[in-house]
Amino acid sequence: MPVHSLHVFDRKGKTLFTKCYAQNKANKVDDGEQLSEKRKLVFGMLFSLKEVAASLSPSSIKDNGVHSVQTGASTCYCLETASGLRFALYITDDADKTHARSIRKAMQHAYNDIWIQSVVRSPLYNPVTPNVQATNFETNLDAFLVSQSWYR
């Protein structure tokens, strides 16, 4: 299954939402502490990469956000919004990169439509103490991801 996991962080690195889609055996032994350690690493990596990118990029180009990070085994697609939210989507086995554009569009959709509709507009969501689990974000997100050609 190419979609491995999705994390949503706020500006300060707090995890607002996280879900692991892959069901391989290695993950079952992960306890909560390890998972939160992993999330920390993901956020730390994206945060530092952005700093590096900003200091290296020519100053005339404003958009210096990190779009994706690719390794041999997986690609992490990242979407950062002006309000500081970071969506990080881990995809495994995307070696040919043919889906890169559509995945980026899909992440925009996940923010523009699913996040706005399900979370920001939800009366159950409290921005001060975020509780994304109380909203139907997960349901809507799952339905959307499953409908994508690169989901499996």
Partner 1 sequence: MASKSWSPTYLANQLWAKQPKANAELFALTYGALVAELVRDLETNDKIQAELDRMGHSMGIRSVEEFLAKASLEPQSQTAVTCSQFKDTSDVLKMALKMFLGITTEAGVQEDSHFSIQFAENPLSLFVELPPDRSDLEYSQLLCGYVRGMLEMLQFDVTVTMAQSVLRGDEVNEMRVDLNQVLQAGAGDDYQEE
Q: Which is nearer to partner 1, 2 or 76 (CB)?
A: 76
- Cβ 12 to partner 1 shortest distance, Å: 3
Q: Which is nearer to partner 1, 44 or 146 (CB)?
A: 44
Residues that bind partner 1 (CB under 8 A): 11-15, 36, 39-40, 43-44, 47, 62-63, 81-85, 108, 111-113, 115-116, 120-121, 127
Q: Which is nearer to partner 1, 102 or 112 (CB)?
A: 112
Residue 103 — φ and ψ, nearest 5°? Answer: -70, -40
- Cβ 81 to partner 1 shortest distance, Å: 6
- Cβ 11 to partner 1 shortest distance, Å: 7
- Cβ 58 to partner 1 shortest distance, Å: 15
